[in-house]
Structure 1
Amino acid sequence: MGLAGVDEPGVLALLEELSATLARLTGDTGAQSFSLDDLRTGGACLAVARDDRGRLWGCGALRPLATEDGCVAMELKRMFARAGTRGVGAALLAFLEAEALGRNVEVIRLSTRRVNERAVRFYRQHGYLPCAPWGRYVGREASVCLEKRLQWSASASPPA
């Protein structure tokens, strides 16, 4: 597990595979709400999961998110684990949450399509709760918006 650049070998193919999978599951690739340029802006990051031979098994991204309440937030995007993998999604999510904690992020928000019931269940099982929609998700009945308030431990200092 580690951070990666979009131009690293295999990363673009993995993101394209995610888009194709989303299109099959939901009828939409998700491209309207995400651009590779999002990962090239300050503060964004992409995490990838690799096996011991370097093969890519999954990915997930965080990008800065402006909030009306002024809390430090990031949006979770492009979460994907290849079919047949076990625990990759959970490991990626834990890695990205730790990365966010290290950046003094208070909350991670995400939107997924209601029809993607497996994803909704996955996020709920990992402590993500319904929240008010924001930005492009306001008024979109097809979307469900979730958030997780991050827990600060003795090893992670709270935001200043």
Structure 2
Amino acid sequence: MKDYIIVRLEDPKSQDAKSLMDLLSDTLQSITGDSGKNSFDVTDVTVPRSLFVIARNQQGEPVGCGAIRPIDTNTAELKRMYAKSKSNGVGTAILSYLEEQSWSLGYSQIWLETRLVNQKAVSFYENKGYTRISNYGKYLNREECVCFGKYLRQET
């Protein structure tokens, strides 16, 4: 049985957000050799058409986070996706919420980058309907990076 998870908009500068992003950075450092801190600025998710979310369990404890920021008019970039537990639906809940919010903000697609060596992340995104796209932006010509995209569709 999956835990009850609530995902909601929160302040990316809060202590819970900082703690979750520090855990993510430590995890990324151990998997990839890079914390990912240089690829994220908290002010990027305080601009229009961006957002930061925290997932909480039934007890209200923070168990994951994620964010989107604009790349262009039609494309949001997924950033700082993290789930403390990899098996109780936290990542799926965060991603679903961010996809819904992206659609409501007028985006038609989401792009993201992860590292090829991070096979759990690669598999997670592939299982959620993301397909490999050409590396973009700062990830161009970086063989250790893999980029993904997904077109959003309105639920009917």
Calculate the TM-score normalised by the size of structure 1.
Answer: 0.89
Tell me, in whole angstroms, the C-alpha distance in 2 between the residues paired with 1:114 and 1:62: 21
* Cα contact 1:60–1:76 (8 A) shared by 2: yes
What residue ranges of structure 1 are gaps of 5+ in the alignment?
155-160
Query: Which residue number in structure 2 is paired with residue 76 of structure 1?
Result: 78
Show structure 2 runs of 5+ residues with no match. Answer: 1-6
The alignment status of 1:149 with 2:151, answered yes or no, reads yes
Classify the secondary structure of the residue corresponding to 1:127: coil
| Residue equivalent to 1:24 | 30
Look up the equivalent residue of 2:51 and give its one-letter code: C
After superposition, give the CA deviation of every residue in 1:96-124 in whole Å (9 maximum; x if it has no partner): 00001111210000000000000000000
Deviation for aligned residue 1:84: 5.8
- Residue identity (%): 37
Tell me which amino acid in the other structure corresponds to 1:151. Answer: R
Residues 62-111 of structure 1, C-alpha deviations (whole Å, 9 max, x = no match): 00013xxxx60000011000036510001110000000111121000000
**2:66 partner SS:** strand
Shift of 1:151: 1.1
- Kindly report which structure 2 residues correspond to 1:5-154, keeping only aligned pairs within 5 A, or say none: 5-66=11-72, 72-83=74-85, 85-154=87-156
Task: Supply the AA of the counterpart residue of 1:50.
Answer: R
Number of positions where the alignment pairs a residue of Structure 1 with one of Structure 2: 150
Deviations 1:100-155 (A, max 9, x none): 1111210000000000000000000000001111110110000001000011234x
Partners in 1 of 2:46 and 2:71 — Cα distance?
15
The range that moved more, 95-104 or 34-43, is 34-43
Q: Which runs of 4+ in 1 moved over 3 A?
A: none
- DSSP 3-state at the match of 1:110: strand
Quick one: structure 1 residues 129 and 111, their matched pair in 2 at CA, closer, same or farther if it must change by over 3 Å?
A: same
Q: So what's the TM-score if we normalise by structure 2?
A: 0.91
Shift of 1:16: 0.7
Q: State the Cα RMSD in Å.
A: 1.3
Distance 1:85 1:9, change over 3 A: farther
Aligned partners of 1:153 and 1:49: how far apart in 2? 22
